[in-house]
A and B are shown apart, each in its own frame.
Chain A
Amino acid sequence: MNKLIAGKKWLGSVMAGLVLVILAGDALAHGERAQLASMRMRTVHWFDTKVEPLNIKVGDIVTVTGKLVTSEWWPKHMPSIDETVFLNMGVPGPTFLRLHSEVNGVPMMRSTAFPLGKVYEYKTVMRARVAGRYHVHPILNVKDSGSLVDKGTWVEVAEADTDAPFVNEVTTLPGETIDLETYALKGVYTWHLIWIAMGVAYLLYWLLRKELFIPRFIRIRELGADRANELLTKKDFVVSSVFFTVTLAVVLAGYLWAENKYPITIPLQTGLVEVEPIEIPKGGLAVEVDHATYDLAGRSLSMKFQMTNNNDSPLRIGEFLTANIRFLNPNVDEGEIYEGEEMVSTDGLTASVDTIQPGQTVAVELVASDALWEQYRMTGLIHDPDSRFAGMIFYYDENGQRYFQEVGGAVLPNFF
C-alpha cells in the first residue's frame, strides 16, 4: 500500500520530466528558425553541407561533411567562437553513434577555438543506432553563446535486418573488447542492489517497531530533552554498530575488489584541441558595400556594391548565402545542390552585371529574393536591435573555379 502510493508520486515527477524533455526536443528540432535573423546571418556561414546516404538501416554509416566560414561581423555582445567551440550534431539524443569527427583534418573529440574570418572543413561519421526519420543538423556549440545550427537534412533509418541487439564494440588499452551498450552494467546492478538491500534493512529495523512516531514523541515530551536519549535501547546501539561496521567493510571491500579487477585506470580526459584554420581562397574580387536595403513586401535583400576584378579571368557572381539560405543565380548556373538539400532558392539571385571583366571596376546590385525569407523568419531582421547583415558571395572564373568571400554592412528596411 505504502509502496503503491509512493510509486504514483514518482511517476508524477517522472511525467513532468518527460513533458520537459518533449518540449525541449521539439524546440531543438527546428532551431534553424528560432534564433534572431541577424544572429543567423552574422555568426557562421555554413556551406557545402552534404549528408549521405539518406536512406540507411540501423548499424549503417552516415557521413556529414561541409565547410563553414566564421563571420568577421560576429556580434560584439556575444561571446566569440574564437574562444571555445564544440563541433556537434543535432540529432534527437543518441539515435546515432558518433564514430569520428574532424575539422581541417584534426580529430575533434573535444572542444576547440575558431578564429574569425577563416574557413573550416568538417566531417562527422556516424552509425545509425535507433530507427526513425531524423532531421540531421550540424551544430556548433559556442561556449556562453549557445548553439549555431546549420540547416537540416532528412535521413531515414530503417530497422536492421537482424533482431540482434545493437552492439558498440571497442577494445580497451589493456586489450579487452567491450560492448559499450551494456558495458560493466552487471557490476552496477549488483552493487546498487547490495546498497538498496542494506538501506531497506536499516530502515526496516528502525521503522518496524511497536512504538513509532507518535508514541515516541509523547515519551520524549515526558522525558524532556536531557533524558530523551533513554529512548534508544542497547539493542539499537548494537544494531547501529553492526550496520556501521558492515557498511565500512563493504565500502572498503568494494573499493579493493575494483582496484584489483581494474588495476589500470585514468582520470577523465579533457583539454582544448588546436586546429589550424584555412585562409579564404583569394579570387581577386575587391568588394565594397555601398548600401543594402531589405524590402519587406518583396521579401528581398538588395545590396549595392562597388566591385573591382583583379583576377586575370572574367568573374561571374553565382550565389549569395546568408543564414543558411542559398540564393543561386540561374544565369551562371554553377554551385552543386546535394541530394536532400534544403533552403536552396535556385533562381533567387539576380545580378545587375553578369560578367566583371579583368581590371574592371563596376557598380553591381545583387538582389536576393525568395519566399524562403519568410519561411525561415528572416523578415524579423527589422526587429533586431543591431540591424546589420552579413553573407557570402560565391563567384566563378571562366574555368568554373569557385571563389567566395564574406560581405556585410548596415541594412535599412524599405516598407514600400
Chain B
Amino acid sequence: MSEIQENGLGAVETKARLLDLKSLDSPKAMKLYRRFDGIIILILFMFLILGVQIQFTLTAGDWDYWIDWRDRRWWPLVAPFSLLLFIAPFTYGIWARVRLPIMATAVTLLLCLVSWLSRYLNFHEFTHFPLSFVFPSTYIGLGILLDCALAISRSLLVSSLVGGGLFGALVYPINWSFMAPYKVPVEFNGMLMSVADLMGYQYIRTTTPEYLRIIEESTLRTFGGSVTPLTAVFSALCGMVIYMIFLWVGSWINGLDKYTKRIV
C-alpha cells in the first residue's frame, strides 16, 4: 500500500487498482473481460488489415503484385522495410501493455489473407490475370521469427537485432520455395528470359510497361552469383535499423497516452 503511494498515486487510484486486481479472481468479471478481449482482437485485427494493406500497397505495391517484379535486389529490401516499419509500433504498444509477442505474426498473416483475397477477386476474377502471375509472397514465417525472438529474449533490443535481421535476410529464401520455378530460363525470340519475364511480356499490362519495373539491372556491377547473399546481408542490416527506429517511434506514440489520461 504505502509502496504504491510512494509511486505518486492518489488514494482513489490505488483503491481502484486493488479492486481491478481482485476482479481477476471473480468469474463474473473474467467473463466480462473475455468479452472485451474478443472485441479488442476484432477491432485490432480489422485495423491491422486495413492499415497493412494500404501501407503495403503504397510502398511495396507492384513488387508484390507481379512475379516479374520480385527481383533479387530491390524486392528483398522494399518488402521488409515496408512491413517492419508498420509492425514495430504495434509490437511496442502490445508488448509494453500486455506482453504479447504476436504483432509481427498477426500483421504478416492478415496481409497474406487479404492479399490472396484481392489477387483472386481483383486480379484474377475481374481482370483475368492467371494466379500464377499475381500470387502474393509470404512473410508469415518472418513474422513468427520476429515475434519468437522477442518472446525468447524478452528484450526489444535483442529482438530487433536477431528478429529484425532475420526478417530482412530471409525474405528471398522463404519465398524461394515456390518462386524458384518462375526463374527457370526460357528462350524467346532468340533472347534469354526467365519464365516470370515471359509472363510479364505475354500477359498484357497496358499501364505497367516493362521499363517501369525497378529491378536489378546490369550484371556488371554485381559480383557474379553473390547478389542474393549480399542483398540478404544488407537487408538484414536495414531490417535491424528500421525495426529499432520504429520501435522507438512506437514508444513515443505510446507515451502520448499520458496526455489523454490527464484530460480524462
A191 partner, pick from B40, B49, B128, B138, beta carbons under 8 A? B138
Residues of A in contact (CB 8 Å), total 111
Given known A93-B129, A218-B24, A255-B176, contact A203–B151 (CB-CB < 8 A): no
Kindly specify which of A263-271, A313-321, A356-364, A401-409 makes contact with the partner chain.
A263-271
Distance in angstroms from B157 CB to nearest chain A CB is 14
The answer to whether A21 touches B37 (Cβ under 8 A) is no
Number of A-B contacts (CB under 8 A): 344
The answer to whether A217 touches B97 (Cβ under 8 A) is yes
The answer to whether A232 touches B105 (Cβ under 8 A) is no
The answer to whether A2 touches B38 (Cβ under 8 A) is yes
Cβ-based interface call for B116 (8 A): yes
Cβ-based interface call for B237 (8 A): no
Cβ-based interface call for B181 (8 A): yes
Choose among B136, B182, B192, B209 the residue with the greatest number of A CB atoms under 10 Å from its CB: B209
Complex: how many Å from CA A261 to CA B183? 12
Kindly specify which of B80-88, B211-219, B238-246 makes contact with the partner chain.
B211-219
Distance in angstroms from A289 CB to nearest chain B CB is 34
Complex: how many Å from CA A248 to CA B114? 25
Distance in angstroms from B170 CB to nearest chain A CB is 6
Complex: how many Å from CA A182 to CA B130? 7
Using CB atoms, name the residue of chain B closest to A20: B122
Given known A109-B201, A111-B210, A184-B178, contact A267–B72 (CB-CB < 8 A): yes
Cβ-based interface call for B126 (8 A): yes
Given known A88-B204, A174-B184, A258-B178, contact A220–B126 (CB-CB < 8 A): no
Cβ-based interface call for B30 (8 A): yes
Cβ-based interface call for B253 (8 A): no
CB-defined A-B contacts under 8 Å, sample of 6? A10-B117, A84-B211, A93-B204, A184-B132, A254-B173, A271-B217
Task: Name the 4 nearest CB pairs between A and B, nearest first.
Answer: A254-B177, A141-B209, A240-B151, A199-B109
B residues in contact (CB < 8 Å) with A: 17, 20-21, 23-24, 30, 33-34, 36-38, 40-42, 45-46, 49-50, 53, 68, 70-72, 96-102, 105-106, 108-109, 112-114, 116-118, 121-122, 126-133, 135-136, 138, 140-141, 143-145, 147-149, 151-152, 154, 166, 170, 173-174, 176-199, 201-207, 209-213, 215-219, 227
